[in-house]
Chains A and B, each alone.
Chain A
């Protein structure tokens, strides 16, 4: 009896897997340039938005190019992403648009891609300039200046505070380039305005960890006036901590990314501001740049994309 059930369940599982596999689109050779979008974790809302934007762009321009999107399971799984790039080289795509999981570790494999005649464009997380130079590789970066974005938010916050006020920063993953840039941007603005940064700790981009870190900061520093978070997932956690401490309105919060879940809090002024780097366009900019390079050739140069400050007034 049990054996029969086992067999049926196994058969069901296998057929489900098979259907799933067949459902995946095969890439057909059509003569159009093939662009591979190599992402970080697709389980992350930010990258999901990026991918959706790219897919939308591809749908509207499907006559121009073929799009393959791949992502890794865990944002920090560098080895997996290297394998993905290698398989894209093997598939002989024409261009690779990559959001590297590590700004150094992915350089060698991208160099290999360039040597195989593939156009490589860097988005989201910028490759380390020094290593690029030492390896004699040129990969253009298309994307926003995170430091500038964070400075915009910090400057706006500074206007609401008085000189000498105590503020705290909640950082993203400490090994991520954009996390470091955002932290620097916040620091630039706060120092320029004469604020006192009493604490700066990482919460690894996560809501729940940010909630705990922010709670501890608020208790340790009763005079705290503001918490600057390197992304919106963390500002959600910080905001909940401010509320739990009964300090809504006394402690201002600042985020980054402008995700859907913070819209209401922004409109109601509970989150002071966030920064939109147009996630839905980031991959698109990279793809457009790659296509441009494919058709025109030319020396690759970095291209900066827009970052905008989002406040309650802007959403009205």
Chain B
């Protein structure tokens, strides 16, 4: 162990991603018009909260060695319940938001319970939920977009010390998620389950409630994301969130969480979301052709993961 490279762990953990982010900002700052401006950062801040919140849930599920492919559809279903109860069924706002989040919680709990009860792979169970939740969304909305008018504007328009509320909520959820993961017994158990489930079982810990809780939490967070997403586009769209599970997984993996479980960081996932958001915003601002956007986004995901590999070797060598 050389004295010169012994940086604090949180620096080495996030340094790689911070560098990627800085490089992206530099590239777009140079090539895109008005990229380095307050409106750009305001815009990114208004667009990342929903996917950030999904990514937090996904991080937790991946850490216990699971996966949740249903988050995009569940978010759409929660949004549909919110829009429908608010506009069509005339439910008061706080109750409608409650229904929305409860829907997410239920979907997540079902995912967890089915996975645990029959010892099934989460991959296939949540793939089933992806279909079921999308079908339910179509049923609830009758395939039609629900115009939520101005009823949710307060969410996007409220600012806390100049920062839009959705962004504050997302940051709070990231912080909470990281605290639970690294500073609580529950979090320790999660990592243990993801590292070696059998060992946890043999040491006499009933891990089933923990697993169900994590899946339920992931569903609940999809409900929270739905409120913010619906508010952002002032409507509940039945086709929203298609493919978001993969976006969330990409962000989480860029952030250094292992797909195999047992290792991960919520803050890392937030960095992952930011990298993808900056990349896509920059490409949109340049007005790049669709095929270029796709190729660059794909390459960036792979590059970020390769970088993470070297960071791991670096910290393992210490």
Question: A: which residues have CB within 8 A of B?
Answer: 2, 5-6, 42-45, 48, 174, 199-202, 206-208, 211-213, 215-222, 233, 236-237, 239-240, 243-245, 259-265
Contacts of A220 in B (CB 8 A): 32-35, 284-287
Query: Does B144 sit at the interface, judged by CB under 8 A?
Result: yes
Identify A222's interface contact among B34, B229, B280, CB under 8 A: B34
Question: B: which residues have CB within 8 A of A?
Answer: 32-35, 37, 39-40, 43, 46-47, 117-118, 134, 138, 142-147, 149, 156, 229, 232-235, 237-242, 280-281, 284-287, 290
Cross-chain contact A215 with B47 (CB below 8 angstroms):
yes
Cross-chain contact A236 with B234 (CB below 8 angstroms):
yes
Cross-chain contact A236 with B39 (CB below 8 angstroms):
no
Q: A43-B138, A219-B40 are in contact. Are A233 and B237 (CB under 8 A)?
A: yes
Contacts of B147 in A (CB 8 A): 236, 260-265
Contacts of A43 in B (CB 8 A): 134, 138, 143, 238-239
Contacts of B46 in A (CB 8 A): 215, 244
Inter-chain CA distance A202–B288, complex, in Å, is 10
Inter-chain CA distance A293–B116, complex, in Å, is 59
Cross-chain contact A212 with B281 (CB below 8 angstroms):
yes
Minimal beta-carbon separation of B106 from chain A (angstroms): 17
Known: A2-B117, A220-B33. 7 other contacts (CB 8 A): A44-B143, A45-B144, A207-B145, A208-B229, A212-B284, A213-B284, A219-B40
Contacts of A212 in B (CB 8 A): 47, 280-281, 284
Cross-chain contact A44 with B290 (CB below 8 angstroms):
no
Inter-chain CA distance A109–B115, complex, in Å, is 43
Cross-chain contact A48 with B281 (CB below 8 angstroms):
no
Contacts of B142 in A (CB 8 A): 48
CB-based A-B contact count at 8 angstroms:
118
Inter-chain CA distance A207–B284, complex, in Å, is 15
Cross-chain contact A199 with B145 (CB below 8 angstroms):
no
Residue of A nearest to B284 (CB): A216
Q: A199-B287, A220-B32 are in contact. Are A207 and B235 (CB under 8 A)?
A: yes
Inter-chain CA distance A245–B34, complex, in Å, is 14
Minimal beta-carbon separation of A272 from chain B (angstroms): 17
Residue of A nearest to B293 (CB): A201
Contacts of A240 in B (CB 8 A): 232-235
Cross-chain contact B234 with A215 (CB below 8 angstroms):
no
Show 10 A/B contacts (Cβ-Cβ < 8 Å), sorted by A. A45-B144, A200-B287, A207-B240, A212-B280, A240-B232, A243-B234, A260-B147, A261-B145, A261-B146, A261-B147
Minimal beta-carbon separation of A230 from chain B (angstroms): 14
Cross-chain contact B145 with A211 (CB below 8 angstroms):
no
Minimal beta-carbon separation of A175 from chain B (angstroms): 10
Cross-chain contact A244 with B143 (CB below 8 angstroms):
no
Contacts of A237 in B (CB 8 A): 233
Contacts of A202 in B (CB 8 A): 290
Residue of A nearest to B280 (CB): A212
Cross-chain contact B143 with A174 (CB below 8 angstroms):
no
Cross-chain contact A44 with B34 (CB below 8 angstroms):
no
Cross-chain contact A244 with B144 (CB below 8 angstroms):
no
Contacts of A244 in B (CB 8 A): 43, 46, 156, 232
Cross-chain contact B144 with A261 (CB below 8 angstroms):
yes
Contacts of B35 in A (CB 8 A): 219-220
Contacts of B33 in A (CB 8 A): 220-221
Contacts of A208 in B (CB 8 A): 229, 233, 237, 240-241
Closest 5 CB pairs between A and B? A216-B284, A261-B145, A220-B285, A48-B143, A261-B147
Contacts of B237 in A (CB 8 A): 206-208, 233, 236
Contacts of A201 in B (CB 8 A): 284, 287, 290
Minimal beta-carbon separation of A103 from chain B (angstroms): 19
Residue of B nearest to A47 (CB): B143
Inter-chain CA distance A2–B35, complex, in Å, is 58
Residue of B nearest to A264 (CB): B147
